[in-house]
Amino acid sequence: MKMRLLIVEDDEALRSSLVRSLDRSYVIDEAGDGREASECLTHKRFDVVLSDIDLPHGSGIDVLRLVRDCDLDVPVILMTGQPSVDTAIEAMDLGAFTYLKKPFERGTLERALGRAGTLGKLARIKREAMSTLGKNGALPGDRAGLSTIFQQALDTLWIAYQPILCRQTQKTIGFEALLRCKAMPTPNAVIEAAERLDRIHDLGRRVRECAAACFKPCNRDMLLFVNLHAVDFSDPELYSSTTHLAKIASSVILEVTERTAINDITDTRRRATELRSLGYRIAVDDLGAGYAGLTTFANLEPEVVKLDMSLVRNIENSPVQFRIVEGITNLCHSLGMKVVAEGIETTRELQTIHELGCDYLQGYLLGAPQPFLLDHVMQQPASI
């Protein structure tokens, strides 16, 4: 089967000559500028895109972005008369397959097209395999593709709230705000994309804003647990007193994960103090899953500690997990910290955790994450 090729070139003479020399081997569509290219790309799928860099109504770099809005894998070959190092770097950075310096020989073009077509197919198969296997790795490998999908993730982002219950009273004492979106398979995929694109601050701001805006508890004592990425600590906006979140800071517990090293962040102690002066409290999240040493713990002086769910999973059958959770809980209590057991899925786990005296409980058994509903707070938890 012939490969489908889109040629984007405003110079008509060159475009016709390209079409003439290639139309025996390819099914070709032509576009004279970015707008026409966009038209073609929204209606058809191509195996390769060959585009001039200098175009009316936007450059080839814009075409590259346009392409990625419609297709995450199709290889793009850029052509240029005057290659400037900057454009070339930007093109490659955005995921252009290669760029050809005009004039080029027919053989050079054919080789580039052949290789691009094959690698494009490979990328599609890989993506299919990844999504069949349910791996997050289905993220596009290049920046332009990744930023397109990341933007969609930001645009479709919403917050699910999972209840956290008091062990003794069995009442809901608060909710953890959890990132959800339609554009990407898992919350971790969104975070990984943000890390790769250096956009953790954008993601964190959006999550915090949405988490605060959609949180409408009937009860004023209800707490809101919000996750922070280690990089969020360096975002000045986190320390602003005028955000939606800051307005309810006294109800907010900021969760700092133990999974990623917060050690890279300087001045942890000063930053924690600043957050407390705004009214926030701090929790160490996923305790037991990471490598955070005592320094992080000492510097953050968390009010709350959340046990990683791997410690909770099947705890009734594991004397080792039992001893660890018992030890952590007792130590935290002696330091005046409250302990949350996360990821409780079975009644056996719940019973064991109950015996161990963890203060607060969270997990699918007690309540799934869901959009904030007013009757959230009224719901009857599984009995403990």
Task: Using CB under 5 A, list all residues that contact Mn ion.
Answer: 227, 255, 285
Helix (H) or strand (E) holding 144: helix 143-155
Q: Which of 71, 73, 142, 342 binds ligand G (CB under 6 A)?
A: 342
Segment contacting ligand G (CB under 6 A): 40-48, 166-174, 270-278, 343-351? 343-351
Closest to ligand G by CB, 29 or 349: 349
Cis, bond preceding 236 (omega within 30 deg of 0): no
Contact between 363 and ligand G by CB under 6 A: the answer reads yes
DSSP letters for 79-105: EESS--HHHHHHHHHTT-SEEEESS--
Contact between 364 and ligand G by CB under 6 A: the answer reads yes
> What part of residues 32-91 is at the interface with ligand G (CB under 6 A)?
none
Q: What amino acid is encoded at 346 in this protein?
A: T
Q: Name the H helices within 248-308.
A: 268-277, 294-300
Can you give the C-alpha Rg of the chain in angstroms?
26
- The minimum distance between CB 305 and ligand G, in angstroms, equals 12
Q: Pairing relation of β-strands 172-180 and 158-166?
A: antiparallel
Segment contacting ligand G (CB under 6 A): 215-223, 319-327, 333-341, 362-370? 362-370
**SS3 at position 267:** coil
Q: Which does 299 bind (CB under 5 to 8 A by kind): ligand G, Mn ion, none?
A: none
Number of residue whose CB is nearest ligand G: 363
- The minimum distance between CB 326 and ligand G, in angstroms, equals 21
Using CA atoms, how far apart are residues 150 and 320, in angstroms rounded to an integer? 41
**Structure tokens, 65:** 């972005």
**SS3 at position 43:** helix
Helix (H) or strand (E) holding 18: helix 12-22
Q: Which does 191 bind (CB under 5 to 8 A by kind): Mn ion, ligand G, none?
A: none
Contact between 302 and ligand G by CB under 6 A: the answer reads no
Residues 237-276, one symbol each (x = binds ligand G by CB under 6 A, - = not), give: --------------------x-------------------
Using CA atoms, how far apart are residues 217 and 364, in angstroms rounded to an integer? 20
Closest to Mn ion by CB, 143 or 208: 208
Q: Which of 345, 354, 370, 381 binds ligand G (CB under 6 A)?
A: 345
Contact between 174 and ligand G by CB under 6 A: the answer reads no
- Asked whether 230 and 257 are in contact (CB, 8 A), the reply is yes
**Structure tokens, 51:** 């585009």
- The minimum distance between CB 310 and Mn ion, in angstroms, equals 14
Contact between 367 and ligand G by CB under 6 A: the answer reads no
C-alpha distances (whole Å) from 226 to each of 28, 160, 167, 238 are: 51, 11, 21, 12
Closest to ligand G by CB, 257 or 296: 257
Contact between 204 and ligand G by CB under 6 A: the answer reads no
Q: Which does 146 bind (CB under 5 to 8 A by kind): ligand G, Mn ion, none?
A: none
Contact between 232 and ligand G by CB under 6 A: the answer reads no
- The minimum distance between CB 160 and ligand G, in angstroms, equals 7
- Longest Cα pair distance anywhere in the chain, in angstroms? 81
Q: Which does 178 bind (CB under 5 to 8 A by kind): Mn ion, ligand G, none?
A: ligand G
- The minimum distance between CB 257 and ligand G, in angstroms, equals 6
Q: Which does 187 bind (CB under 5 to 8 A by kind): Mn ion, ligand G, none?
A: ligand G
Q: Which does 232 bind (CB under 5 to 8 A by kind): Mn ion, ligand G, none?
A: none
- Asked whether 366 and 355 are in contact (CB, 8 A), the reply is no
Beta bridge partners of 98: 77
Q: Pairing relation of β-strands 3-8 and 48-52?
A: parallel
Q: Name the H helices within 291-346.
A: 294-300, 309-312, 319-334
Q: Which of 286, 315, 325, 361 binds ligand G (CB under 6 A)?
A: 286
Q: Which of 148, 285, 315, 338 binds ligand G (CB under 6 A)?
A: 285
Using CA atoms, how far apart are residues 351 and 292, in angstroms rounded to an integer? 29
Q: Which does 369 bind (CB under 5 to 8 A by kind): ligand G, Mn ion, none?
A: ligand G
**Structure tokens, 182:** 């339609």
Residues that bind ligand G (CB under 6 A): 162, 178, 187, 227, 257, 285-286, 309, 342-345, 363-364, 369
